[in-house]
């Protein structure tokens, strides 16, 4: 028996009580003053949520909307601060101040969306109205943030690990009971290209929430670019790699194994790999260790993710370092687009 299971039961009971208070109107939701789409999940760790936020923001921006992403920004130096990470045209914050995922979204969505990091989404929305005049909000990681009213609730479920170990925090990785999936309007099963069989996950989603729209998605590496070029805002880069070049991969993600698998599926020759904790901020000692390991394995270049790249802005790196940019591909793009623009 998991010794933390009793604490998980208590955490789940608290989450259920809080949800019941919102369902019965004891706790009030607040309109953000513009159509709002929430992207969230049931579990902690990486579920492909950030690429999904970027996809939704692009769909809205390309349809003429003025998009503002509201996100908590985990791992920030001052988590209570409200930070304008990007006004949609200029990146105004670094990762330590604004959070690595907000800055990652800002880099990906220049010209498409503004980004505010604030744990109070209602207050952040008011700031956005005062300073940015948005026509639509996208909430990042907000399935459990019920105070903010939303028009569409999308939940991402990772096909490689859909329900964690089935237990609630701190005994497992579930944030609340799986039965609460019935609050969602749509479920996106992510990373289906990395799973052997997605049908049982779809069956379980239908059992939990028969009315939910279900979409399948996969992640793909959309381009590989030099770190310096990426940080300078270059739009160049492609998915071609030098097959005879050996790479050393490193990252600090919630689900690092999926990143390594995607590199291998693309044909990247990995001499070695190293992982750090999610949201880890690199220092000179880390980079020295990475480069030492890479050279010891005869790697010719380093390779990492966009989320890691924004935490490397002040690092001196003597080896070539490439960034693999990942985006989400929906199996039913027209159906998903119709949902978002509805």
Tokens of 6: 């009793």
Whole-prediction pTM: 0.94
| Helix, coil or strand: residue 189 | strand
Q: Are 101 and 76 in contact (CB under 8 A)?
A: no
218 closest CA partner among 265, 153, 163, 167: 265
Scan for tokens 């207050």, then name that residue.
123
Give the number of residues written for the chain: 342
Residue 17: which H helix or E strand, with range? Answer: helix 5-23
Q: Are 183 and 143 in contact (CB under 8 A)?
A: yes
Three-state helix/strand/coil letters over 197-211? CCHHHHHHHHHHCCC
Q: What is d(CA 106, CA 100) in angstroms, rounded to the nearest whole number?
A: 10
Task: Report the C-alpha dihedral over residues 136, 143, 147, 10, rounded to 10 degrees.
Answer: -170
pLDDT by residue, tens only, the chain of 342 residues: 688 899 999 999 999 999 999 999 999 999 999 999 999 999 988 788 999 999 999 999 999 999 999 999 988 999 999 999 999 999 999 999 999 999 999 999 999 999 999 999 999 999 999 999 999 999 999 999 999 999 999 999 999 999 988 999 999 999 999 999 999 999 999 999 999 999 999 999 999 999 999 999 998 998 899 999 998 887 655 655 666 789 999 999 988 999 999 999 989 999 999 999 999 999 999 999 999 999 999 999 999 999 999 999 989 999 999 999 999 999 999 999 999 998
| Helix, coil or strand: residue 51 | helix
Tokens of 190: 């992510």
Residue-range domains of the chain with CATH: 5-218+329-341 (3.40.50.300), 220-328 (3.40.50)
Where does residue 257 rank: exposed (0-12), middle (13-18), buried (19+ CB within 10 A)? middle
Residue 335: which H helix or E strand, with range? Answer: helix 333-341
Residues ≥6 apart with Cβ < 8 Å to 27: 18, 21, 146, 147
């Amino acid at each position: 028996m998991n010794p933390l299971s009793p604490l998980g039961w208590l955490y789940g009971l608290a989450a259920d009580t809080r949800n019941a208070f919102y369902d019965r109107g004891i706790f009030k939701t607040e309109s953000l003053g513009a159509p709002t789409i929430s992207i969230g999940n049931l579990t902690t760790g990486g579920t492909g949520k950030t690429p999904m936020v970027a996809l939704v923001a692009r769909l809205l921006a390309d349809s003429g909307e003025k998009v503002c992403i509201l996100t908590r920004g985990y791992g920030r130096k001052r988590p209570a601060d409200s930070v304008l990470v990007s006004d949609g045209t200029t990146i105004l914050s670094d990762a330590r101040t604004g959070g690595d995922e907000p800055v990652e979204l800002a880099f990906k969505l220049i010209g498409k969306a503004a980004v505010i990091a604030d744990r109070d989404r209602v207050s952040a929305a008011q700031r956005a109205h005062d300073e940015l005049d948005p026509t639509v909000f996208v909430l990042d990681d907000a399935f459990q943030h019920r105070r903010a009213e939303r028009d569409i609730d999308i939940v991402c479920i990772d096909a490689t690990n859909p329900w964690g170990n089935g237990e609630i925090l701190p005994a497992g990785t579930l944030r609340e009971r799986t039965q609460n999936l019935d609050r969602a309007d749509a479920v996106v099963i992510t990373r289906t290209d990395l799973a052997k069989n997605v049908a049982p996950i779809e069956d379980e989603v239908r059992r939990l929430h028969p009315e939910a729209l279900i979409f399948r998605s996969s992640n793909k590496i959309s381009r590989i670019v030099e770190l310096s070029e990426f940080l300078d805002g270059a739009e160049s880069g492609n998915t071609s790699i030098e097959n005879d070049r050996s790479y050393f991969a490193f990252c600090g993600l919630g689900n690092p194994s999926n990143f390594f698998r995607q590199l291998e599926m693309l044909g990247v020759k990995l001499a070695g790999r190293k992982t750090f904790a999610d949201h880890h901020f690199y220092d000179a000692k880390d980079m020295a260790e990475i480069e030492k390991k890479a050279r010891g394995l005869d790697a010719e270049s380093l390779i990492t993710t966009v989320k890691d790249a924004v935490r490397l802005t002040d690092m001196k790196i003597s080896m070539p370092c490439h960034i693999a940019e990942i985006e989400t591909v929906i199996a039913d793009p027209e159906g998903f687009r119709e949902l978002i623009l509805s």
